[in-house]
Structure 1
Amino acid sequence: MKKFTIVLSLFTLLFLAACGSSNEESTDASESKGTINLAVTPWTSTVPPTKIARIIIEDMGYEVEETQADVSSTFVGLSRGDLDAYMDSWMPAHENQMEKYSDSVEKVTTSYDNANTGLTIPSNLEGINKVSDLKGKEDQFGNKIYGIEEGAGATEMMRELIEEADLDLELVPSSEGGMLAQVQRKISSDEPVIFYGWRPHSMFNKFDIKVLEDDYKVFTPSTVNVLANNGLKEKAPDVYAFLQNWNISIDEVEEMITKIEDGADEREVAQEWIDNNQDKVNKMLENE
């Protein structure tokens, strides 16, 4: 009986030690290096880079939160440190916001460049290839241009272009989804339509459309940057180093947007990109 008690006690101690070790490992695994808050503007182009960054930053040991916000709120959040980083800042569209918050918001790197943006129409509308060709033809489009939300830099640029080109057109701001729904209705009915278009976007896969040459130079090819609160380098130097090395192509983003709109899970699409670009990801993490 005594021998049995000793054996049982030894077994109990080993079991408790194993449990303690398991719990300790679980605690260590669940310990976070902190929380990184990523801004997410309501555009399809924001989603793929943000989801990729989220997975990579989580793998680095951080909790990651995503905050949905328009452009104005994004810059306010970045300036206050409520938001740590933003993967989809368009220049020159966000030039005014960058100047306003230059003391607290910084450009970390360029994600991609030569992103074409501007007034966009169906390709079958002949004789209209540049913005100045619209003059005198505004009534063909119901005297309306469909755009994205108020507060976006592109919305103000469209107003500037309408005035600069002296066009008899009313800008109708909406969400990206609302604008594209209107475009879908017009194109399906074979009606002329003018709207704000940009790459990367699945609209160029779904519709036969063209971006008009801007002979007034209001819209020029855009550069898309990664921004951060200027305290991120100190708060999470490894995350900052990763973001400094970040880059992706327009074609890659456009391909992911199309997959997501066709029903694929956002995170799975992002993980697929990481799996297919592991060498590139490793280089991004070299100095973290």
Structure 2
Amino acid sequence: MITNNKYLNLLSKLGVFILAIGFLSGCAQNQNNQKSADLVYVNWAEGIAYTNLAKAILEDKMGYEVEITSAGVGPAYTAVAQGDADAFMETWLPVLHADYYEQFKDQITDLGTVYDGTQSGLVVPTYVEIDSISQLNDVADRFNGEITGIDAGAGIMSTTKNVIEEYNLDLELVQSSGPAMTSALQSAYNDEEWIVVTGWKPHWMFGRFDLKFLKQDPDKEIWGTGKIHIMGRQDLENDKPELAQFLSNMYLTDAELADLMVAIETSDENAETVARNWLTENEDVIEDWIPENSEETSM
């Protein structure tokens, strides 16, 4: 028979044991949360490239479980603003995503610039015998009266609509997707047919084809140069400081990003595999991205 003192002592030890188990379980769960990343990107060449690179680094170098999801621009902003994703990898500022940023800026946090020197506008092959947007109406029939666009929610589609109105263009903006646009461009380019597309840098197509941006009139300039930012959910820096720091540290030069994009585009392997191969050959590029003591865990 157990005496009262022995019984209380046993209960006390059992309580400490249960508390310890609970504490360890909680720490394990917390550590798991800290070592996960949910990243959203748009199905554009540059976003595909460096988001898959980020996944490879986080998994192979920092011990994270990473999920990357392709989405339209609007849903991507919404997912981060509502806390359903950790970060949106591709905010183009100050022009293309200005409206989205204004709508969601109080619900997201700017983690910094991943690329500097963006350019967007109407793009044609260099063999096309015009150089400015204001010349388009004179040769609209050579383009079948169409501008080949991408997905409807993209910022470049809304700004192109503004350009059509500003220049009173007799061309219709045709919605498609990034891959469909580049497929149409390649087909036309191979036959030296005239085509005008919504284009942007950085993009692998400028490494594959001889292209030019159509110039804007000084008094009708809508597009300009800018940067690509990574936007995190509002509490990311407190909840997952290491992940936030890593995303803030990410930065690729024009040459580095172009090399990665072309590698992905010209390979038969998937983007993640190519990104991992590129990583092994470019360790020096990413060594400053990884926060100090990133492999250390604490409770």
Distance in 1 between the 2:177 and 2:291 partners?
Answer: 39
Q: In 2 relative to 1, CA 181–275 (structure 1 residues): closer, same or farther, beyond 3 Å?
A: closer
Judge conservation of contact 1:149–1:173 (CA < 8 Å) in 2: yes
Counterpart secondary structure, 1:255: helix
Q: Deviations over 1:36-67 (max 9, x none)?
A: 10002111111121112112222323211111
SS in 1 for 2:188: helix
Aligned alpha-carbon RMSD (Å): 1.9
Pairing partner for 1:121 from 109, 124, 137: 124
Aligned to 1:206: 208
- 1:80 to partner: Cα distance: 0.6
Structure 1 residue 161 and structure 2 residue 163: aligned? yes
Distance 1:273 1:190, change over 3 A: closer
Aligned to 1:174: 176
CA gap 1:188/1:278 in 2 versus in 1, 3 angstroms:
closer
The equivalent residue for 2:275 is: 270
CA distance in 1, matches of 2:259, 2:252: 12
Which residue of 2 is the match for residue 195 of structure 1? 197
1:99-147 CA-to-partner distances (Å, cap 9, x unmatched) read 1011111221111111222101110122x21212223222221111001
Q: 1:46-85, aligned counterparts within 5 Å?
A: 46-58=47-59, 59-85=61-87
TM-score normalised by the chain length of structure 2: 0.80
Q: Is 2:242–2:291's contact at 8 Å kept on the other side of the alignment? A: no
Alignment of 1:78-117 (within 5 A): 78-91=80-93, 92-117=95-120
Q: Secondary structure at the match of 2:63?
A: coil
Q: Distance in 1 between matches of 2:177 and 2:99?
A: 21
Q: For residue 39 of structure 1, what is the aligned residue in structure 2?
A: 40
1:270 Cα deviation (Å)? 2.2
Q: How does 1:200-279 map to 2 (within 5 A)?
A: 200-215=202-217, 216-262=220-266, 263-279=268-284
The 4+ residue runs of structure 1 with deviation greater than 6 A are: none
**How many Å separate the matches in 1 of 2:92 and 2:106?**
19
CA distance in 1, matches of 2:213, 2:262: 19
Q: 1:11-33: per-residue Cα shift (whole Å, max 9, x none)?
A: xxxxxxxxxxxxxxxxx9xx733
Matched residues, number: 258
Structure 2 letter corresponding to 1:75: Y
8 Å contact 2:127–2:192 — kept in the other structure? no
Alpha carbons of 1:78 and 1:270: their partners in 2 closer, same or farther (altered >3 Å)? same
- Unpaired stretches in structure 1, ≥5 consecutive residues: 1-27
Task: State percent identity of aligned pairs.
Answer: 31
Q: Contact conserved, 1:147 with 1:179, CA < 8 A, in 2?
A: yes
Structure 2 gaps, min length 5 = 1-27, 295-299
In structure 2, how many angstroms separate the alpha carbons of the residues matched to 1:282 and 1:185?
A: 40
Structure 2 contact 207–258 (Cα < 8 Å) conserved: no
Distance 1:45 1:186 in 2: 23
Amino acid paired to 1:60: M
Question: Which residue identity does 1:185 align to in structure 2?
Answer: S
In structure 1, the partner of 2:143 is 141
Q: Which shifted more, 47-56 or 143-152?
A: 47-56
What does residue 14 of structure 1 align with?
A: none
Report how far residue 279 of structure 1 moved: 4.1
Q: Is the deviation greater in 270-279 or in 159-168?
A: 270-279
Give the counterpart letter for 2:139 in structure 1: K
Would the aligned equivalents of 1:199 and 1:254 in 2 still touch at CA under 8 Å?
no
Distance in 1, matches of 2:236 and 2:114, equals 18
Query: Which SS does the other structure have where 2:164 is aligned?
Result: helix
Q: Determine whether 1:283 maps to 2:288.
A: yes
Which AA in structure 1 matches 2:247?
L
In the alignment, which residue of structure 2 is the partner of 1:10? Answer: none
Distance 1:251 1:279, change over 3 A: closer
Separation in structure 2 between the aligned mates of residue 93 and residue 222 of structure 1, nearest angstrom: 9
